[in-house]
Structure 1
């Protein structure tokens, strides 16, 4: 509890929001997520009622974070802890659970919630077989939303001095958004509660929002194929359907631009918030719940190869990136002048082109300075003497996936196009023209901020069919 409320600056400005955008950083809890709150509350209430006794076993079906919170409490209190979780949940969660002494059972991702093979079904079977075992059951336990009604919501009200116009949170079990929403609606008349639900889940309302060809998603901790008992959808005013691409993009943007080491479902919530908060005006305030940290996803969306392997942007052509036609150098420019030009223009490297436009090589600031300092060339020598002639170039038809693989080994890639140049009324030759230079930073910046999202396509489709991706 008592997690910080932090203002989002860069992303809010980049997205053109007029309102104040704040995030509640639940990953500052001891176990690294918002689920610490319910784990403590459920265990303490079970102890208080006499249901839970020393030496008992706690079993919980979970996507991981509730399990970590429970395992943390069990490690302190001495209970045996068994966690049942789907295969798609990250290895990092498994490692943390094992370190805390929990026993882990994995279940198939595709198993329906009411299947005996699902994480819920397996947990129920273990509960029947093991004496003195208990499923505290975050999906139906009233202490799940009460932990947020009594705790998280009160903290938000205090931190905002009671001034809040919109609250955005992802929905998994629904306890977080339900508990917070109930308290805020009591204390702040007119507040708007927005729920984020991934495509492939069925929690959103109206039901047509859930119509999709998507059958699965990589974001962890939110969305379900059933309606949990603790989720009170009547307190949610709007739903925004999110997708993996936007979720992971916004998570990485928050890490890079705001310094917030948050997880994938935090990106889902921020994606929904950016969409919904466009309705807010200057002077209004939107609070977004960030459920967990990057700790659980170091080998997932934080990893470039993992992202590219899922095909999120690999098929996009390099021409989809903003066109930045590079400056070039003539091969006869002196090393002294080349140094001045690079410094003045703020470039680390520049192509050197011949009289007919062909790329002769690349000159880099580092190689140029090294050659001058070691007296391999004089300042009056032409820059052609210090060229890197080994460099990678691709046509404008190359994809971002191809570019990314080259950038694993190269500091930059030259994108070139061919043009017909007539030398007389009948004859034409092909001449090379530099389209752009792409560095790894350029590619990552584009992926984070400019890659078209599934939501844009869905919005276009919705506009055609008369439906909308945000529902009141």
Structure 2
């Protein structure tokens, strides 16, 4: 009979899959190392087992102990599998930018999950780095994993992932492209491959808001590079010991939007349902296309499964709220989110206070003004503010006394370029005529959101 003694024995030997449509512009053979085939659905299963094995061997982790780690979710899942198989407790400290699916999955496999704020420095007592360290100090018979500085992380990929890729490509690999977070994957795989062939190029994919690319190019740790970003699993605001910059040939940065868009493209164009960092990795590879030649064999690694991003990248509302949905916006009509919503207006004889109240209720900054003949004026919040400075009793006066010129009216097929020229310092919006007496307002914010 052919079976595994436990789930841990199924880790590794993940497939290498040729990419066809999404890499059509790349003049080389592109192969994806799809790590979602691991039982925990991510590359982190490999290093989780290795780190636990080494901790057991050194005596740092004792029978019945508690494993404590700060994680973006995937390492936590790998550690959970080991904890279940070997009888350990697990506490995962996770940042609040990680997907709800990751948190729910960790709880489903028995981990205690503690959520910390993202937008704090690594040494802030509230950060998930600091909280995990403190819990390890306070918890009896516990072991703090510290995947960022625990070199068993990169060693796992030196021993497993690197040799697999070399064997699967029959030693013909010329480039390895991967997102960089803890640095374990790129450093371990890169070290092995360069020992086999020093000419192999190792490329890291970084996020905007992370320090890796600039530090690699200049040796400068620039705190001004650090800011909050949405992409999960890659980039850092510190320099983990697992990142061996001497092995990495270069970095390319990918935006949050491009990472999300290309994650969805992988699912729709290749049938490969993978996570956020995979989209960043493939977009990074496309940005590097001038480095590849027809005979090259480029391997890109996909870290984790798309199932962990159902509520984010694969949710249209989440994508739309962040302006990540790619749409062909050419005309005024394309900017109208819903033709069914009623146009909010005010009348010339109403008090200014009525217009202000309406703007508050509907959370709008501009409002058209009408009388029996149609649109005759407009109000916007900046004009209201200026009027208030001049006259503190303005709220009790009729709108006609302070209204501005009416908003220009355009047709649905008016181009975005023409539309943009009509919005300026004096005029904050335009009205779009949808026909049948229906009008909708388009503001500067609507145009910017569509960019």
> Structure 2 CA distance, aligned partners of 1:235 and 1:225?
20
- Gap runs ≥5 in structure 1: 320-395, 408-413, 419-431, 434-450, 453-472
Cα drift, residue 279 of structure 1: 2.0
SS in 2 for 1:269: helix
Is residue 200–residue 210 contact of structure 1 (8 Å, CA) maintained in 2?
A: no
Query: Are the counterparts in 1 of residues 260 and 324 from structure 2 also a CA contact under 8 Å?
Result: no
Tell me the equivalent position of 2:231: 219
Query: Within 5 Å, which residues of 2 pair with 1:391-470?
Result: 396-399=331-334, 402=336, 416-417=413-414
Is contact 1:201–1:210 with CA below 8 Å preserved after alignment? no
For residue 181 of structure 1, give the secondary structure of its aligned residue in structure 2. helix
- Give the conservation status (yes or no) of the 8 Å contact 1:169–1:288: yes
**CA deviation after TM superposition for structure 1 residue 138, in Å:** 0.6
Could you say which residue in structure 2 is the equivalent of 1:103?
112
For residues 157 and 307 of structure 1, do their structure 2 counterparts lie closer, same or farther at Cα, with a shift above 3 Å needed? same
SS in 1 for 2:77: helix
8 Å Cα contact 1:199-1:212 kept in structure 2: no
Contact 1:58/1:136, CA 8 A, preserved across alignment? yes
* Aligned equivalents of 1:173, 1:92: Cα separation in 2: 21
Q: Offset at 1:219?
A: 1.0
Q: What does 1:312-391 align with in structure 2 at a 5 Å threshold? A: 312=324, 318-319=329-330
Distance in 2, Cα, partners of 1:210 & 1:27: 34
Q: Contact conserved, 1:246 with 1:267, CA < 8 A, in 2?
A: yes
Once the two structures are overlaid, the 10-residue window that deviates more, 4-13 or 275-284, is 275-284
Residues 1:268 and 2:280 aligned together:
yes
1:192 aligned to 2:201? yes
Greater alpha carbon shift after TM alignment, 47-56 vs 205-214: 205-214
Distance 2:209 2:294 in 1: 34
27 and 406 in structure 1: CA distance in 2 versus 1, 3 angstrom threshold: farther
Shift of the alpha carbon at 1:212? 7.2
Match of 2:309 in 1: 297
Task: Tell me the alpha carbon deviations over residues 6-38 of structure 1, each in whole angstroms, 9 at most, x when there is no partner.
Answer: 00001121xx21101111001111001010001
Q: CA deviation at 1:213?
A: 7.4
Query: Aligned to 2:22, which of 11, 14, 18?
Result: 11
How does the TM-score come out when normalised to structure 2? 0.71
| TM superposition shift of 1:311 | 2.2
**TM-score under structure 1 length normalisation:** 0.67
Indicate the residue corresponding to 2:69 in structure 1.
60
**Contact 1:148/1:179 (8 A) holds in 2:** yes
Return the match for 2:134 from 114, 125, 140. Answer: 125
1:183 aligns with 2:192: yes
* Residue 37 (structure 1) aligned with residue 56 (structure 2): no
Distance 1:12 1:311 in 2: 24
Secondary structure of the residue that 1:318 maps to in structure 2? Answer: coil
* Displacement of 1:48: 2.1
Structure 2 distance, partners of 1:181, 1:51, is: 28
| Structure 1: distance between partners of 2:339 and 2:30 | 38
Give the Å deviation of 1:289.
0.7
Aligned mate of 2:263, from 203, 228, 251: 251
Q: CA deviation at 1:277?
A: 2.8
Q: What is the rounded CA distance, in whole Å, between the counterparts of 1:417 and 1:140 in structure 2?
A: 57
In the TM superposition, residue 174 of structure 1 has moved relative to its aligned partner by 0.4
Which residue number corresponds to residue 113 of structure 1?
Answer: 122
CA contact (8 A) 1:277 1:286 kept: no
Could you tell me which residue of structure 2 aligns to residue 206 of structure 1?
217
Q: Give SS of 2:22's match.
A: helix
- Tell me how far 1:249 sits from its aligned partner: 1.1
**Which residue of structure 1 lines up, in the alignment, with residue 170 of structure 2?**
161
- CA distance, structure 1, for counterparts of residue 109 and residue 223 of structure 2: 40
SS in 2 for 1:169: strand
Deviates more, 1:96-105 or 1:49-58: 49-58
Distance in 1, Cα, partners of 2:223 & 2:125: 26
- Residues 193, 240 of structure 1: CA spacing in aligned structure 2 closer, same or farther, 3 A cutoff? same
CA-based RMSD of the aligned residues comes to 2.6
Deviating above 3 A after TM superposition, structure 1's stretches of 4 or more consecutive aligned residues are: 207-214, 414-418
Aligned residues of 1:26 and 1:33 also touching (Cα < 8 A): yes
Kept in 1, the 8 Å contact 2:202–2:248? The answer is yes
